[in-house]
Homo-oligomer: A and B are copies of this chain.
Amino acid sequence: MPHRNQMPAPQPTLRRLPGYFRFLQTLAEAGETTVSCTSIAKALHLDPTGVRKDLAFTGIIGKPRVGYSLLELRDAISSFLGWDDIREAVLVGTGDFGRALLGYELFRERGVEIVAAFDVAPDLVGQKVRGKEVLALDALGDTIRTRQIPIGIITTPAAAAQGVADTMVEAGAKAIWNFAPAVLEVPEHIILEHVELVASLAVLSSKLAVRASAE
């Protein structure tokens, strides 16, 4: 194996890795110690050689006839994805959706901990939601700055998203995870990940529409 890292994994690979991790986790809990590409591929409905390519990015090498060391592989994925050390995040927009994210424990296990929530609604500010304190929007910049928080999560209405993003960037956040249906303008060096649920729904509906018209 030559000098790894440096070459970043393609995005489709990154998106599959959590699935591998979850599967390996269940195998580990079942007491297994090794695992083959073939078995992973079968369980996840993927191509074995594709799985092998993905796993190669983590730097782990397997043994013919045996497969990979289960724990070694799992931990390699975890560290490759940056799940080993926990990064702090703030969430802005403590509505229904933001609340769901606040209460989702899995994020912490995946290296991201939401440490504070923000909102403009006076009746929310000062409350605790899912164990996290809701602060006034005014305090957003200072909180990010003084605690050096790298991740900002946006779950405000779309109209407010750009302003929130600007504050986050200005305060030094390095990555933004945006759930609002808005195109955000951020500087080149900011990592921006936009989750567009409606896009996923569009794939589903259009398949359904094709199917319906075929009948």
Contacts and interface: CB of A to CB of B under 8 A. Distances in A.
Interface of A: 5, 8-9, 11, 14-19, 22-23, 43-45, 80-83, 87, 95-97, 99-100, 103-104, 106-107, 110-112, 150-151, 174-175, 177, 181, 183, 191, 193, 195-213
User: Which of A80, A200, A201, A209 has the largest count of B CB atoms less than 10 A from its CB?
Assistant: A201
A208 B15 contact: no
B183 A204 contact: no
A183 B211 CA distance: 23
Query: Top 4 nearest A-B pairs by Cβ distance?
Result: A82-B209, A96-B100, A82-B205, A15-B199
A174 B208 contact: yes
User: Which of A5, A8, A16, A204 has the largest count of B CB atoms less than 10 A from its CB?
Assistant: A204
A177 B202 CA distance: 11
A14 to B, nearest CB: 5
A15 B191 contact: no
A213 B7 CA distance: 13
A127 to B, nearest CB: 16
Given A106-B181, A181-B106, A9 B206 contact: yes
Contacts of A181: 22, 106
B87 A202 contact: no
B99 A202 contact: no
A135 to B, nearest CB: 20
A156 to B, nearest CB: 14
Nearest to A210: B8
Contacts of A110: 198, 201-202, 205
Nearest to A150: B208
A153 to B, nearest CB: 10
Given A8-B210, A44-B183, A81-B209, 10 more contacts: A8-B207, A14-B199, A15-B196, A19-B199, A82-B212, A97-B104, A110-B205, A150-B208, A193-B201, A193-B203
B200 A193 contact: yes
